[in-house]
Amino acid sequence: MQIHKYDTVIVGAGGAGMRAAIESTKRSRTAVLTKLYPTRSHTGAAQGGMAAALANVEEDNWEWHTFDTIKGGDYLVDQDAAEILAKEAIDSVLDLEKMGLPFNRTPQGRIDQRRFGGHSRNHGEAPVRRSCYAADRTGHMILQTLYQNCVKEGVEFFNEFYVLDLLLSEVDGQRRTAGVVAYELATGEIHVFRAKAVVFASGGNGKFFKVTSNAHTLTGDGQAAAFRRGLPLEDMEFFQFHPTGIWKMGILLTEGARGEGGILRNKDGERFMEKYAPVMKDLASRDVVSRAIYTEIREGRGCGADKDHVYLDLTHLPPEQLDAKLPDITEFARTYLGIEPYTDPVPIQPTAHYAMGGIPTNVEGEVLAGNTDPVPGLYAAGEVACVSVHGANRLGTNSLLDINVFGRRAGIAAAEYAATADLVELPEEPSKFVEDEIENLRDATGNERVVEIRKALQETMDRNVMVFRTEQTLKEAVEEIGQLRKRYRNISVQDKGKRFNTDLLEALELGNLLDLAEVTAVSALARKESRGGHYREDFPTRDDVNFMRHTMAYREVGDDGTESIRLDYKPVVQTRYQPMERKY
Amino acid sequence: MGTATLEKNDSAGPVDSAENSATHLITVVLRIRRFNPEVAEESSWQDFTLKIDAKERVLDALHQIKWEQDGTLTFRRSCAHGICGSDAMRINGRNRLACKTLLKDINPEKPITVEPIKGLAVLKDLVVDMEPFFQAYRDVMPFLVTSGNEPTRERLQSAADRERFDDTTKCILCAACTSSCPVFWNDGQYFGPAAIVGAHRFIFDSRDEAGEQRLEILNDRDGVWRCRTTFNCTDACPRGIEVTKAIQEVKRALITRRF
Ligand SMILES: Cc1cc2nc3c(=O)[nH]c(=O)nc-3n(C[C@H](O)[C@H](O)[C@H](O)COP(=O)(O)OP(=O)(O)OC[C@H]3O[C@@H](n4cnc5c(N)ncnc54)[C@H](O)[C@@H]3O)c2cc1C
Ligand code: SF4
Ligand code: FES
């Protein structure tokens, strides 16, 4: 076991982690631990754009953006945080441009902007062009630009280091951050990183669904580590299903396709969104469009032999426009479906996309141990975190924004904290938990296989915790996940080696997914209302009297070692916007 | 050995390309170059036979082997749709991304060979040491350099100036190009195509002011002049970047000092 000492340790090198690293490296001795090479992070898959009311192509302002964000999140958004997001958006896009990001340009040479779902002028009057973009490769450009600037700033990376545990120590009756424990993929060695401040920026957890736009590696390791250490997870029942994933595969086709004029059609060729959202039509917010698609499918108007998908129709758009604005997604259709989008509609279905919930933080990025008290020295930003700027449903282009605004804030706050704080003593046997887990897995001879449990988990999540939920489906999910967790104790891995043992890591990742799936299903079962991405057929309306509050889920361990999930609630911060009915 | 047999699982529905939801399982053989110094000093070939839909990716086949036959089979992957650059490998003798290569497109009737990319040290199975590759990239100053006061708003750039370097902004640092380059195989010091692509992206960006410095770096004996224009890199690039053309443009800029 090796022990390292840093001022600030950042876990994750996606957009949020690298944006934080650029700030914290300037201010403190920083290490970035990442399970993937930085440029492999899933931020690179983001396509459509990053929202900011630059008003480069039409009138716009950050107040409209704030309102859209709050309405899009079905009023579960903390309004103070949304205001910061929308205000700081402008500088955060300009900062990226100055760092070199090659945005598409207007004829005047300014950053070009396009339409995106849920973004409107003057509080819902009409769609507005607010998304700053680089073709359909905006995330790729952000990831590359941030990596390039990390090279420039000399950020220190530990690549292919898997963080498996968070170390907290009691100091004067208060839990404080002591560091993290990481597993080095190349050697199988365990490393303890002592740090004054730790920033979790380890991304989402969409891999507990089967049809998903998320990478194989998005397994919620950060959320799971915090949860195991007794920290709460906020609003985990809110997961976004993006309307347009490639049928069966889940690969994303950006909402920018509809922003450019693409239309959703059912088997009769009908533009069905006109029925569900007369003003915003195909550009209504994602939860609305995903439900509309499934309603069409359920009512027999789906396409194909099994009537299990609908079409994204781009055929009326000029090929030059597709080549210039949507080159990657049109190529995905050609590569993976053998379909030419110039002439043929593309079969799509909703795909599990984005975790609105996560590790609760305040607007400085400090992680909360309860409804209000931060854990000294612990920060989180990006998809792993819940600030909450996305509430019950995130607007498209607001996450690339979130990772930049709150990644930067967390990086600065962590480094500033580290400048004045001392290293906290390590807890006793700091690496014991991780060493035991790994030893147990290596030595295990059980007859359960990772692949089967993961498959069963993904199937139950797709069947029971997707776009439409009921008490019955959620109970079934909780029950099945419970069974799978039992079976998980009996798994074994085939690779017993130390070198690049990805077999072992997949098993650990599955453990994290199981924990988080359970929190998600339990939180969803308790929320007897429909709001944003969480839709209960048995409670189809929003219930502000009982549920205008954030879910806070805690892991409890009884004296006999039995684990359970305790749910608590936290009020939503409201400033100037009163909840209204959400219409598009 | 290796003749693909067709098994139609589902007879419903008309057979029309992508709309056909029926699964056609075929039997394929993946012949994989295995190496694990914990087990043996030498690498060796191993055949795996599996039933899989020909519309699936080579990556899906590798996963199926790892998950159902041999958990020790090791390779890198993340996004599974050609965006993250993790899974460049030599498939039937050509560098490709396993996640962007469908079985049906590479003649699944014969055994499909899968090897690590060449020119970088193999660490285990299909995993190679990427450090020298990333170091070459970092050495070309792959970041925007400007002087003077920062403008309050964005720097202006015409759509045409932006278009000038569009092709090279697409690079995902997968190393398919560099590891298909015979010059790189023979001389690991050569910067290699990917690093030159990275330099090109900034040299031809109208906002950048360090073009001269980057050109000096590439003027080195291990720089662009070693390129023998074999076009392997362009053929290998999964992002469709005209890599050889980018290298030629950098060479020309070195001679004319105009960019
Ligand atoms: C296909 C797709 C398209 C999208 N398009 C858009 C869009 O157009 N606009 C928009 O605003 N949003 C979009 N999103 C959402 C947005 O891209 C993501 O929410 C955001 O990029 C997440 O960034 P992140 O930095 O939090 O995480 P990631 O980029 O996922 O990075 C996570 C990092 O954590 C590291 N990590 C994970 N676990 C560990 C561990 N145990 N130890 C060490 N390191 C670890 C990984 O190596 C990685 O570096 C899209 C998402 C997807 C999937
Ligand atoms: S130029 Fe193409 S082949 Fe080379 S590293 Fe970049 S994306 Fe890969
Ligand atoms: S897995 Fe990401 S490029 Fe293939």
Chain B, nearest residue to A333 by Cα: B18
Token code pair at residue A35: 């399970």
Check the annotation: does A285 bind a ligand.
Answer: no
Least Cα separation, residue B128 to chain A (angstroms): 11
* A285 occurs within a structural domain: yes
In chain A, which residues have their Cβ closer than 8 Å to the Cβ of B11?
none
Which of A42, A304, A498 lies nearest to residue B19, judging by beta carbons? Answer: A304
Q: Looking at residue B222, what is its pLDDT?
A: 80
With 0-12 CB in 10 A as exposed, 13-18 as middle and 19+ as buried, what is A397? Answer: buried
Q: In the block, which residue shows the tokens 């533009």?
A: A271
Average pLDDT over residues A225-250: 97
In terms of domains, do A437 and A528 share one? yes
**Residue B157 to residue A109, Cβ atoms within 8 A:** yes
Q: Looking at residue B259, what is its pLDDT?
A: 77
* A205 occurs within a structural domain: no
Q: How far is CA A166 from the centre of its chain?
A: 20
Mean residue pLDDT across chain A: 97
Q: Looking at residue A285, what is its pLDDT?
A: 86
Task: Among the bound ligands, name the one nearest to the CA of residue B86.
Answer: 3
Ligand 2 within 6 A of CB of B194:
yes
Q: Which residues lie below 8 Å from residue A140, measured CB to CB, with a gap of 6+?
A: A44, A45, A46, A134, B83, B170, B172
* A341 occurs within a structural domain: yes
CB B176, CB B238: distance < 8 Å: yes
In terms of domains, do A440 and A536 share one? yes
Q: What phi and psi, each to the nearest 5 degrees, are found at residue B232? A: -55, -40
Q: Which residue in A502, A508, A510 has the most chain B C-beta atoms within 10 A of its own C-beta, making it the best mutation to test that interface?
A: A502
Pocket test for ligand 1, best of A399, A437, A508 (most atoms within 8 A of CB): A399
The residue whose CA is least distant from atom 8 of ligand 2 is B174
Q: Looking at residue B21, what is its pLDDT?
A: 53
In this structure, the strands spanning B24-34 and A549-557 are unpaired
pLDDT (tens digit, 9 = 90+) per residue, A426-467? 999 999 999 999 999 999 999 999 999 999 999 999 999 999
Amino acid residing at A10: I
Which of B38, B84, B162 lies nearest to residue A215, judging by beta carbons? Answer: B84
Q: How far apart are CA A8 and CA A377, in angstroms?
A: 9
Among the candidates A524, A540, A556, a domain finishes at: A540
pLDDT (tens digit, 9 = 90+) per residue, A392-427? 999 999 999 999 999 999 999 999 999 999 999 999
Chain B, nearest residue to A334 by Cα: B18
Task: Give CA angle at A301 (A298, A302), nearest 5°.
Answer: 80
Q: Looking at residue A257, what is its pLDDT?
A: 94
3-class secondary structure for A261-287?
CCEEECCCCCCCHHHHCCCCHHHCCHH
Q: Which residues lie below 8 Å from residue A333, measured CB to CB, with a gap of 6+?
A: A246, A253, A339, A340, A341, A346
Pocket test for ligand 3, best of B99, B117, B237 (most atoms within 8 A of CB): B99
User: In this structure, is the dihedral angle defined by the CA atoms of residues B146, B148, B153 and B155, taken in order, positive or negative?
Assistant: negative
Q: How many CB atoms lie within 10 A of CB A580?
A: 11
Q: Which residues lie below 8 Å from residue B133, measured CB to CB, with a gap of 6+?
A: B120, B173, B175, B178, B179, B192, B194
In this structure, the strands spanning A156-159 and A30-34 are parallel
CA dihedral A460, A463, A464, A467 (to 10 degrees): 140
Q: In the block, which residue shows the tokens 């000029």?
A: A318
Q: Within 13 Å, how many C-alpha atoms sit on residue B76's CB side?
A: 28
The number of helices, as runs of H, and strands, as runs of E, in chain A is 16, 20
Q: Looking at residue B20, what is its pLDDT?
A: 52
In chain A, what percentage of residues exceed pLDDT 90? 97
Q: Looking at residue B11, what is its pLDDT?
A: 37
In chain A, which residues have their Cβ closer than 8 Å to the Cβ of B83?
44-45, 140, 328
Average pLDDT over residues A177-182: 98
* A212 occurs within a structural domain: no
pLDDT (tens digit, 9 = 90+) per residue, A257-294? 999 999 999 999 999 999 999 998 999 889 999 999 99
Q: Which residues lie below 8 Å from residue A6, measured CB to CB, with a gap of 6+?
A: A29, A30, A31, A193, A194, A195, A196
Q: What domains lie within chain B, and their CATH numbers?
A: 7-128 (3.10.20.30), 131-146+158-256 (1.10.1060.10)
Task: Among the bound ligands, name the one nearest to the CA of residue B197.
Answer: 2
Average pLDDT over residues A178-207: 98
Helix H segments across A100-251?
Answer: 138-153, 221-228
Q: How far apart are CA A293 and CA A120, in angstroms?
A: 22
Size of interface A-B (CB pairs under 8 A): 163
Task: Give CA angle at A424 (A419, A429), nearest 5°.
Answer: 145
* A555 occurs within a structural domain: no
CB A44, CB A231: distance < 8 Å: no
Ligand 1 atom closest to A255 (CA) = 8
Task: Give CA angle at A423 (A419, A428), nearest 5°.
Answer: 160
Q: B89 C-alpha vs ligand 2 centroid, how far in Å?
A: 13
Q: Looking at residue A583, what is its pLDDT?
A: 84
Question: What is the span of the domain harbouring residue A272?
Answer: 251-353
pLDDT in tens, chain B (259 residues): 334 444 444 433 333 444 555 678 999 999 999 999 999 999 999 999 999 999 999 999 999 999 999 999 999 999 999 999 999 999 999 999 999 999 999 999 999 999 999 999 999 999 999 999 999 999 999 999 999 888 999 999 999 999 999 999 999 999 999 999 999 999 888 999 999 999 999 999 999 999 999 999 999 878 899 999 999 999 999 999 999 999 999 999 999 977 7
The residue whose CA is least distant from atom 7 of ligand 2 is B171
Q: How many domains, in total, are found in chain A?
A: 2
Average pLDDT over residues A137-149: 98
Token code pair at residue A575: 């400033």
In chain B, which residues have their Cβ closer than 8 Å to the Cβ of A339?
17-18
Closest to A438 in 3D by CA, of A501, A375, A516, A487 = A501
Average pLDDT over residues A78-91: 98
Among the candidates A290, A325, A353, a domain finishes at: A353
Pocket of ligand 3 (CB under 6 A): B 77-80, 82-87, 97, 99
Q: Looking at residue B150, what is its pLDDT?
A: 87
Bridge partners of B45, per DSSP, are B33
With 0-12 CB in 10 A as exposed, 13-18 as middle and 19+ as buried, what is A27? Answer: middle
* A7 occurs within a structural domain: no
Token code pair at residue B96: 């490709």
In chain A, what percentage of residues exceed pLDDT 70? 100
Q: Which letter does DSSP use for residue B18 in this model?
A: G
Q: B88 C-alpha vs ligand 3 centroid, how far in Å?
A: 8
State the CATH number of the domain containing residue A535: 1.20.58.100
Q: In the block, which residue shows the tokens 């939860």?
A: A287
Torsion-angle region of B93 (φ positive above 0: left; ψ -120 to 50: alpha; else: beta): left
Q: How far apart are CA A235 and CA A392, in angstroms?
A: 8
Q: How far apart are CA B50 and CA B72, in angstroms?
A: 17
* A281 occurs within a structural domain: yes
State the CATH number of the domain containing residue A304: 3.90.700.10
Collapsing DSSP to helix, strand or coil, A179 comes out as strand
Among the candidates A337, A353, A369, a domain finishes at: A353
Q: Which residues lie below 8 Å from residue A163, measured CB to CB, with a gap of 6+?
A: A11, A33, A35, A180, A181, A182, A202, A221, A222, A225
Least Cα separation, residue B2 to chain A (angstroms): 25
Amino acid residing at A408: R
* A231 occurs within a structural domain: no
Closest to A224 in 3D by CA, of A166, A264, A288, A156 = A166
In chain A, which residues have their Cβ closer than 8 Å to the Cβ of B144?
98-100, 148
Collapsing DSSP to helix, strand or coil, A183 comes out as strand
Strands, E assignment, A205-342 = 233-234, 239-246, 263-265, 310-313
Q: How far apart are CA A113 and CA A127, in angstroms?
A: 12
Q: Write out the catalytic residue numbers of A.
A: 286
**Residue A339 to residue B17, Cβ atoms within 8 A:** yes
CB A542, CB A198: distance < 8 Å: no
Radius of gyration of chain A (CA): 23
